A and B are shown apart, each in its own frame.
Chain A
Amino acid sequence: MSTPERRQLAEAAGLAAVIERLGAAIALAEEPSGFAAALDAGAPDAFDD
């Protein structure tokens, strides 16, 4: 395995570890579309803001 390939795998493994740790307590009902909903729900009430 070349050095760049080892580096790629190491970075991907690092990201996987972070995702694994953060995802341990994520709600079963959470889904990606919740992001757009969070933005909509978080917008200010006043229109001109």
Chain B
Amino acid sequence: MTDGTLVALAEAIRAKRLSAVEATRAYLDRIARVDGALHTFITVDADGALAAARALDAEAAAGRWRGPLHGVPLAYKDLCHVQGLPTSCGTRTAEYFTGPRECTAVVRLREAGAVTLGKLNMSELALGPFGDNAHHGDVQNPWRRGHVAGGSSSGSGAAVAAGLAAGALGTDTGGSIRLPAAACGIVGLKPTYGRVSRAGAMALSWSLDHLGPMTRTVHDAAVMLGIIAGRDAHDATASHRRVPDYATALAKPVTGLRVGVAENYYFDGLAPDVERSVRDAVRALEGLGAAVQPVRVPDPTVHHGVANAIARAESAVIHARLARERPHELQPAVRARLEVGFQISAHDYLQAARLRAQLARQFIAEVFAEIDVLIAPTIPEAAPSLESAKAGSADDVVQRMGRFSRLTRPFNSLGLPALSLPCGLSADGRPLALQLVGRPFAEGTLLRLGHAYQGVTDWHARRPVLSPGGGSG
């Protein structure tokens, strides 16, 4: 049961082949069995989940169905405020983030019938692409123990890959949905800036934060996005655009879609197996009728400077008390990244915000005049070992973080939707991934193309083999 997709599970419950309680127990049993070694959860709410599942079963017995996720067990990154559960944000402080209002996306999923299993491990303060955490344990990659799960939504990526939740929420400020999705062999969608409300989720950088689904298939991601997207009175940046029926639109053909393969930057310095797998995927898309062409993109390194100035300044403001009053609690690399923000001048911060507007307009005009979707690798190499990711000084680690996330960060400052999906395995069985990037609010196009790709490949159907304790080879 925990081996399937969110959509299949929802259908089984709807058809009464399975109850919400049975589904919830299956996930809780699996969490108890394997998560001691994987460290994907910070809080498991077994009692709350079973109580919710029992209520949902009673409603179903009375003919009342809450929505498309009735009885489906999900879990949320531990920066989403969920009533009654602590929100550590990956810090040492159990209740680091509190507030009067629950995370809007969680509320919408619950209203659609989802059961909350608990809160998922993450990089401390969402600052880090590897998913290591000194306070709650390093999240292990389910495909290969001792290797990073990717971050910062590390628990979300590993839990979905290991069958510990049918789907999860993550957040992405520089790649934090797509990197763990890629490293763990699942689907991760960073929507357009403003497509999904961030209300009730800890901010790392208001200008660059995105909240989105992490699932086993593109179809699952389409269903979750359709539920969580849309205007929200509690988040002024949430777009008022209507929300399309993403799941229904998956059936539309992809013939003739113009897919651009980046000629510059995105294929530089890749591990050979990453490049090979993405080029194979490009051929698969051609086989589906997509019109593939090379495309030059405006220099992405420019975006790094702009994004870093904004992200450093905003994160230092948001987490100033922790950084100034209890810096010893922070992991060295997290502290190093956070403290730089105190040195960014108001002039540079505001100038970066102006530049971002100019760069976004330029990128959209130049690139999407020629193509509908840009394809690029998500990660430059398969998940590295935890030991190598954490080795050396804080400066060494920060440099390494920048290299690992260099393919995802440009699309945060641009605010464009980006869908990561698995496209291969390294020789020793670690997942490889590509990202599809589209025009603003063109999530439907990305999902349609990704769904078509998953219709002719089986990378998304492969599962890590876990030993009884949760370890893998």
The verdict on B345 contacting chain A, using a C-beta distance below 8 Å, is yes
**Size of chain B's interface in residues, with CB distance under 8 A?**
49
The prevalent SS among residues of A at the interface is helix
Q: Are B348 and A39 in contact (CB under 8 A)?
A: no
Q: Are A19 and B309 in contact (CB under 8 A)?
A: yes
Q: Are B439 and A42 in contact (CB under 8 A)?
A: yes
Q: Report the stretch among B128-136, B139-147, B334-342 that lies at the interface.
A: B334-342
Complex CA–CA separation, A9 to B249 (angstroms) = 50
Complex CA–CA separation, A42 to B116 (angstroms) = 36
Q: In this complex, which of B242, B340, B356, B364 has the most chain A Cβ atoms within 10 angstroms of its Cβ?
A: B340
Q: Which residues of A contact B193 (CB under 8 A)?
A: 35-36, 39
Interface size class of A (residues with CB under 8 A): 20 to 34
Q: How far does the Cβ of A11 sit from chain B's closest Cβ, in whole Å? A: 5
Complex CA–CA separation, A9 to B440 (angstroms) = 35
CB-CB under 8 A for A26 and B439, given A4-B336, A9-B343: no
Q: How far does the Cβ of B333 sit from chain A's closest Cβ, in whole Å? A: 12
> What are 28 A-B residue pairs whose CB atoms fall within 8 Å in the complex?
A4-B339, A8-B336, A9-B343, A11-B340, A16-B344, A16-B345, A18-B306, A19-B348, A19-B352, A19-B355, A26-B351, A26-B355, A26-B358, A31-B354, A34-B361, A35-B207, A35-B357, A40-B239, A40-B440, A41-B364, A42-B365, A42-B440, A43-B439, A43-B442, A44-B442, A47-B242, A48-B245, A48-B444
Interface contacts beyond A32-B354, A36-B237, A42-B439: sample of 18 additional A-B pairs, CB < 8 Å, sorted by A: A4-B339, A7-B336, A8-B336, A9-B343, A15-B312, A16-B344, A19-B305, A19-B352, A22-B302, A26-B351, A35-B360, A35-B415, A38-B361, A39-B193, A39-B441, A43-B439, A43-B442, A48-B444
Q: Which residues of A contact B (CB under 8 A)?
A: 4, 7-9, 11-12, 15-16, 18-20, 22-23, 26-27, 30-44, 47-49
